[in-house]
Amino acid sequence: MRTVRNDDVTLSYRTWGAGPPLLLIHGGAGTGRDLALVRQHLQDGFTVAVMDRRGRSGNDARRAHTIGDEARDILAVIDDIGEPVHAFGHSYGAICLMEAAAAGAPLRSMTVYEPPVRGPELADRLRGVARLIEEGRAEEAMRSFLVRVGATEEQLAVLREIGEWERVVAGCGPFVGEVGALTAWEPDLERLGELTIPVVYLEGADTASDFYDRDRVMSWLPAHTRVVSMPGQTHTAIGFAPALVADAIRLAAGPQPV
């Protein structure tokens, strides 16, 4: 594990494999461990770096922060890697990645998986989940959140069977600060349209259309952005269809040297 400082915040990331550098950025209410299955599909062709965003896995700074702070965290990790990276962001992590890209992050390619961009209705729902966490009802909060983003009862049962549910519930503390950062975020992402690197917008074909505003995100991304829709999937494919997610990342990254 490597540690990185961004101002007064200590961040960490781990690497696996060999090849061109690829940075994976997890979503809200999670950790880098959520991307383990995706990483396993990619580490034979890339040096895969998986960061734990602020507030988890020994990192500090659970206090109030902004999406801009998270973007600077990503820039600090890339700087420590030492060269431009292919990058993937899931959900809230995709928003942080887009903000970093707009700030000039040295990227080779970018894949964003359903950044949660919507209007006041989404903000109200997320605040409701955050209130449950603050009231000590973390399990109820996480079940409500995951079902809302597309997890089925069968998938939640699998998480319990393999012992991951307890980790999800125990690690949800930073979600409260993330909701604050997301609801206060004022996007200024026009610079994304100037990107010349390959970009993929990834979505689940069965994701609820009232939760993610693909058209708005696509209005920020460059015209050459490719949309990849995963059949039968929702927001949870990182855990339940990781090979499809890995395929989209490879599509953005392009052929790699053998």
pLDDT at 145: 87
Distance of alpha carbon 145 from its chain centroid, rounded?
15
Question: Does residue 164 form part of some domain?
Answer: no
Question: Does residue 158 form part of some domain?
Answer: no
Question: Does residue 69 form part of some domain?
Answer: yes
Per-residue pLDDT reduced to its tens digit, 105-123? 999 999 999 999 876 677 8
Handedness of CA 24, 215, 248, 157 (dihedral sign): positive
**Strand residues in the chain grouped as ranges (E):** 2-6, 9-17, 21-25, 47-52, 85-90, 107-113, 199-204, 226-230
Per-residue pLDDT reduced to its tens digit, 80-108? 999 999 999 999 999 999 999 999 999 99
pLDDT at 62: 52
**Strand residues in 91-147 grouped as ranges (E):** 107-113
Which residues span the domain enclosing 112? Answer: 2-118+187-253
Tokens of 90: 């899931």
Per-residue pLDDT reduced to its tens digit, 146-166? 888 888 999 999 999 999 999
Question: Does residue 100 form part of some domain?
Answer: yes
Sequence-separated (6 or more) residues with CB below 8 Å from residue 200? 109, 110, 111, 112, 225, 226, 227, 228, 248, 249, 251, 252
Question: Could you give the number of structural domains in the chain?
Answer: 1
Question: Does residue 51 form part of some domain?
Answer: yes
Would you say residue 209 has pLDDT above 70?
yes
Which residue pairs, CB below 8 angstroms and at least 24 apart, start in 121-129? 121/210, 122/211, 123/182, 123/183, 126/179, 126/182, 126/183, 127/179, 127/183, 129/175, 129/179
Question: Does residue 125 form part of some domain?
Answer: no
pTM: 0.94
Question: Does residue 124 form part of some domain?
Answer: no
Question: Does residue 166 form part of some domain?
Answer: no
Per-residue pLDDT reduced to its tens digit, 43-65? 999 999 999 999 886 565 555 68
Amino acid (1-letter code) at residue 149: V
CATH code: domain of residue 38: 3.40.50.1820
**Distance (Å, whole) CA 195 – CA 177:** 30
Largest CA distance in the chain: 53
Tokens of 126: 């997320």
